[in-house]
């Protein structure tokens, strides 16, 4: 199992070459969103997760769901905050307001 989102960039390359199934995050999101009747989703995360097409493509082609991403100036700031603060949150007893 790939336990992060960004490594799913290599899903199409990796899955055929290994003997275990990878749960593709885009499929899990798409199935649940479709079940809830959602047609458009916002996508937040690291810059590669948001700017590469590996999640929006699957959501659009397999589930008919469009993806909205932050504008570039917001994306750059969010990426810095994400990289600076998220790893820290996992090691704090009470994360509180990291931003």
pLDDT tens for 45-99 read 777 788 888 889 999 999 999 999 888 878 777 767 766 766 555 555 555 554 4
Residue 89 confidence (pLDDT): 53
Structural domains in the chain, CATH included, are 6-89 (3.40.50.1860)
What percent of the chain is helix, strand and coil (3-state, nearest 5)?
55, 5, 40
Reference 65, options 56, 73, 74; nearest CA is: 56
pTM, rounded to two decimals? 0.66
């Amino acid at each position: 199992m790939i336990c992060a989102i960004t490594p799913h960039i290599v899903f199409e390359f990796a899955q055929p070459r290994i003997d275990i199934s990878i749960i593709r995050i885009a499929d899990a999101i798409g199935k649940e969103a479709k079940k809830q009747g959602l047609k458009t989703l916002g996508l937040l995360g690291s810059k590669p997760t948001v700017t590469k097409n590996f999640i929006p493509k699957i959501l659009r082609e397999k589930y008919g769901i469009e993806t909205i991403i932050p504008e570039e100036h917001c994306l750059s700031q969010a990426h810095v905050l994400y990289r600076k603060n998220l790893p820290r949150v996992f090691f704090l007893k009470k994360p509180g307001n990291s931003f």
